[in-house]
A and B are shown apart, each in its own frame.
Chain A
Amino acid sequence: MRIEFYNGNVASAEGAIHAGCKFFAGYPITPSTEIAEHMALRLPQVGGVFIQMEDELASMAAILGASWGGVKSMTATSGPGFSLMMENIGLGAMTETPCVIVNVQRGGPSTGMPTLVGQADVMQARWGSHGDYEIIALSPSSPQECFDMTIRAFNLAEEYRVPVIILMDESVAHMSEKVMIPDEKDIKLVERKKASVPPSEYLPYKADDFVPEMACAGEGYNVHVTGLTHDEKGYPQATSPEVQEKLVRRLCDKIRENEEKIRDIEEIEMEDAKIALVSFGISARSCKSAMKKARKDGYKVGIIRLKTIWPFPEKYFEEISEKVKKFIVVEINYGQIKLEVERMVGRKKVVLLPKMGGDIHKPEEIYGKIKEVHNGN
């Protein structure tokens, strides 16, 4: 184990290296650029390839190609680039290609506030590409979590054969903190299931437990991979509603049915909490400051910190809403996760404490909102 002092971007890049990432394709964009820079420095040292592409469309396409070439691959971007990636995130979901995308969120919409914080890409991460699909998105609150979660993102991508998004924010990306880097032997890595039968018996999109075995290029399986609706053989069946039904259900259910396994929530002081602050990323840290002060002053308040944002922990909220009276959703946008919480616990129980971007919540504003909600205003 060694201790480093890294910012979130560098920690995430190091996490990728420790997860065995061997390919990075990206396009420079503030506030994510340090990830590309660090990967450019590190990948040749570990026998990997870094390439700066002509845009984010290409970056996303390239990491899918690299994943089919048999290696773990990653890209990093911010809002405007994330928008361009949506096309091939859809291809990744459809072709079930493991890969990791870091989106360091800044203030939007459009070019917005390139150097300042935002958390308004939450819904885009879930719904940004067209059609029905499910995705996994994680949200780190510290450089240490940037490191740990990047490794987890690769593991989840490999396990479920799905693009995994790390929804970082500018604050976490640019703050430096102590990061503990475990020894290699202490890092648990997951690898994609390889084809276990001979080519004559292999069906690239047949899945007994939701996730099919993956045969990459050059392994002798002559796999056809297409973004068209395809059958178990991988062949296009673009006019068959039956094939579409089966495929889309599986693409969604492999994540939905595993939500509890994927779920990662940090509960703080929730045992007796009547008010819960629901937050993620940098916002959760402001919540913690506010919660500590409120607890001292006798308010029964706790925190539900979403480390995994997608799939949304529906059952969790259903259950916890039985004991919590009010949920205050603290996020740097105009109400996105709030919609999800409302969906599960009902609109009456949810209060939004938004921020449009450019700055993070001050603990005092959150404290003020706790008092207000407690007093029934």
Chain B
Amino acid sequence: MRREIKFGGFGGQGIILMGNIVGKASAKYDGKNAVFTPSYGPEARGGAASSNIVIDEEEIDYPYVTKPDVLVVMSQEAYEKYAPSLKDDGILIIDEDLVHLKNGVGRVAKIPSTRIAEKLGKRIVANIVMLGFFAGVTKLISYKAIRKAVLESVPPKFKELNEEALEKGYKYGIKWREE
């Protein structure tokens, strides 16, 4: 079944990488079809960034995300910009320290991903924590697949750190599911 996922944040948070990893995980390691399309402003840092993924067991024709089933946001601006497009029964996933919810939107899953990353020693892995959380919450990709995709997308000397970040996020996600 066609699933649309959107990641949003600001440039420099690794939003584009997140999309790429999810696409790679499902296309290469989960054996599904996936299309990933990035979109970013002309600024290299600080501007709005989003990445879009469509996952389907069937062939994917139209490649873009129009009404996401899952929206993952890591900035207030991205939340305000993209939340209205979320499907009625969609899941909103946020970094609870970076996004303040305005009005009630369906299901919300919160994680302090940046804070967790800081505790791990590198704020920059917040996106990987968030990816783990996304995988745990939605189960749209297997942990095995996303783990492989993360490991091949990060520099070798940061593999352990990223693996830890992913796992922390994933467990947090499983916990959310159970609750």
Contacts and interface: CB of A to CB of B under 8 A. Distances in A.
A322 B23 CA distance: 43
Contact of A360 (B38, B42, B64): B64
A83 B60 CA distance: 33
Contacts of A285: 61-63
B63 to A, nearest CB: 5
Given A5-B20, A5-B23, A115-B42, A178 B63 contact: no
Interface stretch (A59-67, A69-77, A169-177): A169-177
Interface stretch (A120-128, A286-294, A333-341): A286-294
A292 B61 contact: yes
A60 B47 CA distance: 35
B36 A176 contact: yes
A148 to B, nearest CB: 17
Contacts of B20: 5, 176
B35 interface: yes
Contacts of A171: 37, 63
Per DSSP, are chain B's interface residues mostly helix, strand or loop, or mixed? mixed
Contacts of A234: none
B37 A4 contact: no
Contacts of B38: 174
Contacts of A7: 36
B28 A175 contact: no
Contacts, number: 52
B42 A282 contact: no
B27 A177 contact: yes
Contacts of B138: none
Interface string B19-60: 010011001100001111110001000000000000000001
Interface string A275-308: 0000000100110110010000000000000000
A115 B49 CA distance: 14
Interface string B61-81: 111101000000000000000
A157 B66 CA distance: 39
A289 B61 contact: yes
A289 B38 CA distance: 21
A174 B52 CA distance: 11
Given A3-B27, A115-B42, A175 B61 contact: no
Given A176-B35, A178-B33, A5 B28 contact: yes
Nearest to B27: A178
Nearest to A2: B28
A25 B37 CA distance: 27
A177 B61 contact: no
A227 interface: no
Contacts of A362: 62, 66
Interface string A1-32: 00111010000000000000000000000000
Contacts of A358: none
Contact of B61 (A3, A4, A286): A286
A285 B61 CA distance: 5
A363 interface: yes
Contacts of B34: 5, 177-178
A282 B42 CA distance: 23
Nearest to A116: B39
Interface string A137-180: 00000000000000000000000000000000001001111100
Interface string A359-371: 0101100000000
A362 B61 CA distance: 11
A173 to B, nearest CB: 10
A222 B55 CA distance: 57
B33 A282 contact: no
A175 B27 CA distance: 13
A362 B66 CA distance: 10
A175 B42 contact: no
B151 to A, nearest CB: 14
A282 B37 CA distance: 13
B36 A175 contact: yes
10 smallest A-B Cβ distances: which pairs?
A: A5-B24, A289-B61, A288-B61, A178-B27, A176-B36, A289-B62, A285-B61, A175-B37, A5-B27, A175-B63
22 contacts: A3-B28, A4-B28, A5-B24, A5-B27, A7-B36, A174-B38, A175-B37, A175-B63, A176-B23, A176-B36, A177-B23, A177-B34, A177-B35, A178-B28, A178-B33, A178-B34, A282-B63, A285-B61, A288-B61, A289-B61, A360-B64, A363-B61
Given A3-B27, A115-B42, A176-B37, 18 more contacts: A3-B28, A4-B28, A5-B20, A5-B27, A5-B28, A5-B34, A171-B37, A174-B37, A175-B36, A175-B63, A176-B23, A176-B24, A177-B23, A177-B60, A285-B62, A289-B62, A362-B62, A363-B62
Interface of A: 3-5, 7, 115, 171, 174-178, 282, 285-286, 288-289, 292, 360, 362-363
